[in-house]
Structure 1
Amino acid sequence: MIITVTPNPSIDRTQALAGPLTVGGVNRVRHGTDQAGGKGVNVAGVIHHAGEDVLSVVPAPDTGTFARLLTAGGVPTRFTGDAPARVNVTLTDTDGVTTKINSPGPPDTDGAGLAAAVDDAVAAAAEAAGDTEAADRWLVLAGSLPPDYPADWYARVTAAAHRRGLRVAVDTSDEPLAALVTRAAEDPAAVPDLVKPNSHELAQIVAAFGGTSPDGDALEAAAAAGDLSGVVAAASGLTDRGFGAVLVSLGAAGALLVEDGAAWFCAGPTVEVVSTVGAGDSTLAGYLLGAVRGLTPADRLALAVAHGTTAVTLPGTTLPTPTDLPTTLPVPVRVPQSPED
């Protein structure tokens, strides 16, 4: 069982432009779509369509546009709130450039109700699993936090889930990510079993630990050129501090995984990019599918990159299904973590 939590769900409104985006000018739309979105929602969708048990928890009412869009996909969902979901706008132009305009989310809620709902779902999953290995039970905490949530909300929920015996994956950025790192340094129970940053978020984590922050763009460019030393050093530093695994998405270059004392890199196949929205979520979902199926870290990474690469070939926030994936998965390679390796 995988439980995903999306504290700040959204209606993702994608507008495909008739040409390149003109800032300050008139941009005409060829077509548009509305889809239920949010990082945890996207992860749950990929996992559900892959045939694994998943529950999506969202602080939104079970009626209205968001609920209608979400339930149409058939993903098992627990609706826990009464504030309507925000609307995020994605502009995709004919040059393959994606521009996102994200709303902040509903104010005047401190996250206590969602935390209680998550704990109830986690307790039910643990009870249903019985003696099942904890490796088969994951809680995924993903996305931004609404304005009035405490910045360390993810750290608190991570610690509570660990007490219930679940493994926890976190994918977030900015202040919630910094707060997670700060709390994790003080409380081992708040340390995620998996964190999935992109290159810029990896730099934020390093800075939150007080280190010299690398440049995210430089890390990604170096990886594309074959130099993985910077991203390997940064990711390995996190596992040295107790993080179970670090999965770093590197855009078109591919992804890096540091887990079980080894670092693996998997290059992304060359594809035609239609939309990058949901690619990172699909990457995380691919890893989790590999985890619950008992795959090795290297094979989890291959499945993660296959999902992320496939996602960018699909329009809007359309998520990859098993039939969309390539018949042959990309092949990860082990990379040294230090000059002595």
Structure 2
Amino acid sequence: MIVTLTVNPSLDRTITLERALQPGEVQSALSSREDAAGKGINVARSIAAAGAATRAVLPLAIDDPYRAILRASALPVCEVPIVGHSRANITIADPAGITTKLNLPGPALSPSDARAIIAAVVEASAGASWLVLAGSLPPGVGDDFYVVVINAVRAAHGESSPLIAVDTSGVALRTVVEHGTPDLIKPNDEELAELVGIELADDGPIDAVIAVARQLVPARAASALVTLGSRGAVLVTGESALVGEAPRIRVASTVGAGDSSLAGYVLAHAQGLAPDDCVRSAIRYGAAAASLPGTQAPTPADLPAGDVFVTTHS
């Protein structure tokens, strides 16, 4: 069982244009779609599409329009009742795969909402192999919310606690690595650079990414999966650094690609695969998601064919 927490879910609306976005102009759209999303939901949908056991914990009001779209996905969920509707995120995609995102804030959570969510995560995590804490934090909870969740799960389950992966950014991620000691973090290269307070060139050497990650691993996080878009991904652990190259694909939308990469990684790890195969799985799932429109969860049939080259760096 792989459990996910999405404390700030979103209804993703994706609009595909017939040509590049022209700010200030009226343009025609080729298509649009809506997906029940939020990072943890995206991860859980990819895991479920692979036929693996998962459960997604999220706050959700009874009258939230998000509910109908979520139920259509047939995803096993644990809903924590709240007041207020999930946010809507708008993505504008052009034929070249360039995306523009507008992310809205979510509903404010009360202290009792936060306590109920934490209790639901603790209960759902019993016997799980992984717990994935993913996405931004909504108004009403502190920057240390994920740390509070981690401590509650580990206090409740002790040595049988699941491995914990965190995929967030900014102050929330900084607080996790300072106080939470997660088993895995999944930043992209920009989020990693922000986390340690330096700049990384977009096309800079991979060794620079590895060096930055090693400032955190293993002292503050047991491992880091750093996604690099079209350049692939890097897995840094206390023992090694593995670099995987991304396959060539036709990009439709990059929204949710990093979430699918994380899903691919934890799926492979939960199956007991070797670290290099976990990296291959992460890259295949991320590439598959980027080749699909909207915020779709890739299935095993969507994964790109061919090998993913993984090398060990010192």
TM-score, structure 1 as length reference:
0.86
Shift of 1:116: 3.2
The residue that corresponds to 1:206 in the other structure is: 196
- Corresponding position: 1:105 with 2:106: yes
Q: Deviations along 1:174-222, whole A, 9 cap, x unmatched?
A: 121222233x2xxxxx211000000111012212xxxxx133xx0x312
Matches within 5 A, 1:1-341: 1-82=1-82, 83-107=84-108, 109-110=109-110, 112-126=112-126, 129=127, 137-163=129-155, 164=157, 165-182=161-178, 184=179, 190-207=180-197, 213-215=198-200, 218=201, 220-222=202-204, 227-336=205-314
Does the CA contact (< 8 Å) of 2:60 and 2:86 recur in 1? yes
Q: Deviations along 1:233-261, whole A, 9 cap, x unmatched?
A: 01112114241110000111000001241
Q: Deviations along 1:91-141, whole A, 9 cap, x unmatched?
A: 00123210000001112x246524433433433542xx3xxxxxx621111
Instruction: State the SS of the aligned residue for 2:193.
Output: helix
Does the CA contact (< 8 Å) of 1:14 and 1:90 recur in 2? yes
Higher mean alpha-carbon deviation, 154-163 vs 7-16, is at: 154-163
- For 2:240 and 2:99, how far apart are their aligned partners in 1? 34
Instruction: State the SS of the aligned residue for 1:237.
Output: coil
If asked which structure has higher relative contact order (CA below 8 Å, sep 6+), I would say 2
- For 1:199 and 1:257, how far apart are their aligned partners in 2? 12
Q: 1:196 to 1:115 in 2, by over 3 A?
A: farther
Instruction: State the SS of the aligned residue for 1:239.
Output: coil
Does the CA contact (< 8 Å) of 2:14 and 2:93 recur in 1? yes
Q: 1:103 to 1:319 in 2, by over 3 A?
A: same
Q: How well do the aligned residues superpose, as a CA RMSD in angstroms?
A: 1.6
- For 1:272 and 1:5, how far apart are their aligned partners in 2? 31
Which letter does structure 2 place at the counterpart of 1:221?
Answer: D
Which letter does structure 1 place at the counterpart of 2:257?
Answer: A
Does the CA contact (< 8 Å) of 2:5 and 2:121 recur in 1? no
How many aligned positions are there?
A: 309
Does the CA contact (< 8 Å) of 2:48 and 2:75 recur in 1? yes
TM-score, structure 2 as length reference:
0.94
The residue that corresponds to 1:210 in the other structure is: none
| Structure 2 gaps, min length 5 | none
Shift of 1:319: 1.5
Does the CA contact (< 8 Å) of 2:131 and 2:164 recur in 1? yes
- For 2:182 and 2:98, how far apart are their aligned partners in 1? 33
- For 1:263 and 1:118, how far apart are their aligned partners in 2? 33
Q: 1:115 to 1:196 in 2, by over 3 A?
A: farther
Instruction: State the SS of the aligned residue for 1:221.
Output: coil
- For 1:37 and 1:111, how far apart are their aligned partners in 2? 24
Identity within the alignment, %: 39
Does the CA contact (< 8 Å) of 1:139 and 1:161 recur in 2? no
Instruction: State the SS of the aligned residue for 1:181.
Output: helix
Instruction: State the SS of the aligned residue for 2:291.
Output: coil
Does the CA contact (< 8 Å) of 2:218 and 2:237 recur in 1? no
